[in-house]
């Protein structure tokens, strides 16, 4: 029984280590939002959500996300949100396109990228 449990733990560890390797590269377009504001009230997007987003993202460094036109939510990760979200603060409430590695962590889709392009 101990060998079975040890084997399962090793396989689980190997699977978790391989997960980032299996992440798919995708291009996602959506509006940049504060995830805490958005999950508090889904109407906290655009200009209506900008004040809340600035307070939570710029001053509290809360997680930032993208909300796509079809309602999918992605948390931003990687260089884009480094240094307390410095690169992404000017993009709050704007629609951007991000290309990066997409994975799922704790039930949330996460896209790791270093840059975003403003959609005009």
Q: Is 6 contained in some domain?
A: no
- Asked if the structure places residue 7 within a domain, the reply is no
Residue 105 is part of a domain; what is its CATH number?
2.40.50.500
Q: Mind listing the pLDDT tens digit of every residue in the chain (120 residues)?
A: 666 565 555 566 655 554 555 679 999 999 999 999 999 999 888 888 899 999 999 999 999 999 999 999 999 999 999 999 999 999 999 999 999 999 999 999 999 999 999 997
* Domain count for the chain: 1
**DSSP labels, the chain:** -HHHHHHHHHHHHHHHHHTTTTPEEEEEEEEEEEHHHHHH-TT--HHHHHHHHIIIIITT---EEEE-TTS-EEEEEGGGGHHHHTTTGGGTTSEEEEEEEEEEETTEEEEE-S-EEE--
In a domain? residue 1: no
pLDDT at residue number 80: 95
Query: Does residue 3 form part of some domain?
Result: no
């Amino acid at each position: 029984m101990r060998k079975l449990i040890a084997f399962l733990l090793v396989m689980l560890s190997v699977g978790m280590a391989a997960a980032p390797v299996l992440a798919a590269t995708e291009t996602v377009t959506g509006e940049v939002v504060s995830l805490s504001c958005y999950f508090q009230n889904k109407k906290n997007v655009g200009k209506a959500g900008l004040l809340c987003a600035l307070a939570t993202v710029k001053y509290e460094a809360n997680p930032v996300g993208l909300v796509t036109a079809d309602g999918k939510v992605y948390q931003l990760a990687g260089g884009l949100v480094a240094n307390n979200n410095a690169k992404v603060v000017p993009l709050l409430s704007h629609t951007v396109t991000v290309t990066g590695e997409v994975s799922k962590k704790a039930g949330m889709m996460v896209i790791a990228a270093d840059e975003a392009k403003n959609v005009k």
